[in-house]
Structure formats: C-alpha cells, structure tokens
Amino acid sequence: MGKYRIATILPEESQTAAGTKTIDLNLSDVISRIEIKLDRLKAQNAMTSFAAADVTKIELVDGSDVLFSLTGYECQALNIYDRKCGSMNEGCHINANDEISHYGLDFGRYLYDTMLALDPKRFTNLQLKITHTLVSGDSSCVSGTMEVRAWVFDEKKVTPSAFLMAKEIYSYTCGAANSYEYIDFPMDYPIRKMLIRGYYTATNPCDTISEFRIDENMEQKIPIDMGTETYFSFMITSNKWQPIYEQFQATLSASATYYVTPTWYWNDVSFWPSTSTTQYRSAVGAGGRITITTTGAAELNGSVRGYLPNHCIEVPFGDPDELTDWYDVTGKSQVRLRLKAGGNGTNGTAQIVLQQLRRY
C-alpha cells in the first residue's frame, strides 16, 4: 500500500470463554484506526440479543490514563455516525454459520487524517483491553475468534497535533416518566459530538429519553433544548443522518427473534424466502428487535433499513471536519446536560458518550 499499511495487532485467536483480552500496543508508527473483528459460531437459528452485546467494554489506556472507553453498542454507533457506513455487522443469523461484528477506534475525522491520529511515541504503556462475553448474542455459542488490525502511516511521515478520544462519561437507570437527570460535562477538552443512548428492550430510544437540554453556567445560556423525536425529524430532513442498511440472513422453522442495528420505531425489513412458504413479521420491530414467523421451514435473505444505531442518538457540535468549530467547553465554568425520561423511563437505562479533541 506504499505510504500506508494494515498492521496485525492480534492475529485471529480462538475464544471459548468470556474474558478480557489485554494487548500491548508496541507499534511506533502513527495509527489512524484500530479495528476489532469478532466471529461467533452460531449454535441456534435465532438470537438471544444484539451481536454488539458480546462486547461489554473496549478500552485504550496508557497506565491509568484512559484514552478510549466504550461498550460494543456505543463503539459501533459512533463508527456508523462518523463513517456514514451502513452497518458494523455482517448479519448472518444461521446456525453453524459465523455471526461477524466489527468495532473501530477512529482517532481521526476520517481514515488517514494527517492532522488527527494516535502517535504511540507520545505514550509510555499503551494497552488495548477488550472485554467480551462470548454468549450474549447467542446463548448457546461455545466458540469464536477475535482479531485486531491497525491502519497506520508507513512511508508517509506525519506529525499529528491531536487525536479523537471517545468515552462513556455517565450511565444511570432512568427514573419515572417525565423525571429529570442532570449530568455535568467534563471541562478538560473540546467536544466534537455526543451520543445519548436510551435503552430498553424492544423500545425506541425516544420512548426512554424524551427530551435533552444543554445549559451553560447555571442556565445563563441554553444552546439546545429539544424533544428527541423532534430532533430526529430535523436530523433526517436536513440530511444529517443516513439510513442504516444491514444484511439479514436467517433460517426459520416456526418463529424466531432477531436483533438488528437500527432501533427506530419502524424498521423496514425486506426479505425473500428460498421456498414458497409464507413469512411475516409478527412484531413491529421497535428497538431493533424483530420477530419473524413462517408457515414452514425456509431460508431468508434480505436487508433491514432504519435509524438510530444501537439505541444511540448523535448530537454533533459544529462542522465535524473543522476543529475550531467544535464545542470548546474549556473556558466555561459549567456545562450541564439534562435528560428527561420518556414513557419507558422506569424500565430503561441511559448512557452518555463524548467524543473529544485531545491535543498532544
């Protein structure tokens, strides 16, 4: 590849139990992206949960300094919003076949961003830690593999001035409908974007978190105060969000439940059977949970289309490609997020992710 190369951080490694894989990053080349690939050998023709449920945490640390810390759900959602890719899953849900999912640590605004990238020489003890369950997506799974690659600058010599750092800063169990939760932002780095994740099974995120507001310096200024459903409609009509498209392959014998990346109310599920039997979706599919029923055995091939990956709502701050346009909180005395619980608030959880600009 000349000026660039794809380095192997972890060759394909067998997994037969849950655990945390710790990998020392001994690269000296500047890193644009790290990508994790998980392969799970399915043992049933349905799903227990989302493929991303298998990854409970991805961390990049330098000793006690945490540079990246997200769950699999959050990591995939951030990838989809940043990359504008269709999905991070390959969508094969068939017994004895591979269920493959990907998780990326993007240190720049795009692949091979010369200004923003991770320079290992700036750190002393970089380690990547991946905690996985093996069985969350398929409770009968007994084996799988993991591999990790890095997209690095090779012959092209670059001197990045900063990198993108992403962390979950807050997680809580929502209160009763219409109750509020207040969250103080960290004030150390400018913020490129925020993800609000409102999760409850088979539920659209806007039913868990119905409103969000940001205020500065004890409500002296309120940059945004909006209902999440209204915000959703603004983002899609202004072409800020692209639909998520995910491949869908399944084998049915009666009725089975599947979990897909888009989690808006009405996911468009298009499929065609390999036989003349009749299939129909017996549940609306809110929250990425779809139940399909058939009158006889059949293999289905198709796709799913929708919005809000893994129950996450993106809130970008300014032009995502212009560093000086991002939300610089460093000179303010306080920035606070307020979330309002929706009708499913008492049953749901919420997480807040910030993607920040960290200079060397």
Q: What is the pLDDT of residues 242-268, one digit of tens each?
A: 899 999 888 877 778 899 999 998 777
Q: Is the pLDDT of residue 294 over 80?
A: no
Torsion region of 266: left, alpha or beta (phi above 0 gives left; psi -120 to 50 gives alpha):
beta
CA 303 distance to own-chain centroid: 19
**What's the confidence (pLDDT) of residue 347?**
85
DSSP 23-72: EE----S-EEEEEEEEEEE--SSS-SS-GGGGEEEEEEEETTEEEEEE-H
Residues 6+ away with beta carbon under 8 Å from 145: 12, 13, 14, 15, 38, 39
3-state secondary structure at position 267? coil
Class (C level, CATH) for 1-160: mainly beta
Helix ranges (DSSP H) in 129-275: 205-208, 228-237
Q: Does residue 126 contact residue 60 with C-beta atoms inside 8 Å?
A: yes
**What's the confidence (pLDDT) of residue 71?**
98
- Which residue in the block uniquely carries the two structure tokens 């991946």? 130
Sheet with 349-359, strands from edge to edge, namely: 19-24, 126-132, 55-62, 65-70, 162-173, 349-359, 191-199, 312-316
3-state secondary structure at position 77? helix
Phi and psi at residue 72, to the nearest 5°: -60, -40
**What's the confidence (pLDDT) of residue 316?**
97
Q: Rounded mean pLDDT of 32-45?
A: 95
* Domain segments of the chain as ranges: 1-160, 244-306
3-state secondary structure at position 288? helix
Q: Which residue has the higher pLDDT, 345 or 73?
A: 73
Strands 92-93, 244-252: pairing is: parallel
Sheet with 289-294, strands from edge to edge, namely: 255-259, 289-294, 279-281
Q: Is the dihedral of CA 294, 300, 306, 307 positive or negative?
A: positive
Q: Rounded mean pLDDT of 317-322?
A: 96
Q: Is the pLDDT of residue 283 over 70?
A: no
Kindly indicate the confidence band of residue 8, based on its pLDDT and cuts at 50, 70 and 90: very high
Q: Is the pLDDT of residue 284 over 70?
A: no
Q: What is the pLDDT of residues 106-162, one digit of tens each?
A: 999 999 999 999 999 999 999 999 999 999 999 999 999 999 999 999 999 999 999
Q: Across the chain, what does the average pLDDT equal?
A: 93
* Burial degree of 141 (CB within 10 A; 0-12, 13-18, 19+): buried
pTM: 0.96
Distance in angstroms (rounded) separating the CA atoms of residues 352 and 185: 10
